[in-house]
Amino acid sequence: MIKAVIFDFDGLIYDTETNEYNVLNEIFQEHGSELPMSVWGKVIGTQAGFNALTYLEEQIGKKIDHKELTKLRRDRFNERMKNEGPLPGVEEYLSAAKKAGLKIGLASSSDYEWVSTHLKNLCLFDYFECIRTSDDVEKVKPDPTLYLEAAKCLGVKPEECLVFEDSANGALAAKRAGMYCVIVPNEVTKDLDFCEVDHRLESMAAVELHELIEKIK
């Protein structure tokens, strides 16, 4: 029996991932290069120590101004994100989960300040009974600890949790934790190689939460 739903954040609730990749690839193209999804896809949903600007230097064979390009990357990203709201169906799922009496948690490989600030700006923060981020664990996704800690915080067993993820690393973490997992890939993650999951949605707006839970059960 599903007693809790646990959401990822980046790319699942708020599409930071598509905008981040598009900004980076734009910068790469301006320097006569490309950022392949085969490279970038491996670091989505985790913290792999990958430095995109160092990779760009390696591709073009010359030094670049990291400070200048980091600022340019941040400014362009913020400009793209300022008019973004939650992804389709997210708020409806949160509302439906609350009405159904399900516990609601969040598990993110990003830090708490990043997640909480955006959730508050999106007016979604109060839906979550528990938020676990990179600040709470030694290893982030695809390690299962974030999800196990979220379940523990919510007072439920892993097998009673339904996770919503958009990335391959996140989905692997959820399944390693022994939880149900539904993937809702975005434009950047839709072609990644996912592990075996319980269901795939094009959007949370495509099916109501209670119908999805019935399919999984």
Supply the residues annotated as catalytic: 8, 10
Distances (CA, A) of 145 to 116, 152, 196: 20, 10, 19
Residue holding tokens 């160092």? 54
What is d(CA 197, CA 180) in angstroms, rounded to the nearest whole number? 7
Residue 113 amino acid letter: E
φ, ψ of residue 139 in degrees (nearest 5): -125, 135
Whether residue 167 contacts residue 8, with contact meaning beta carbons closer than 8 Å, is answered with yes
Residue 183 amino acid letter: I
What is d(CA 151, CA 200) in angstroms, rounded to the nearest whole number? 22
What is d(CA 217, CA 20) in angstroms, rounded to the nearest whole number? 35
Angle at 114 between CA 159 and CA 30, to 5 degrees: 115
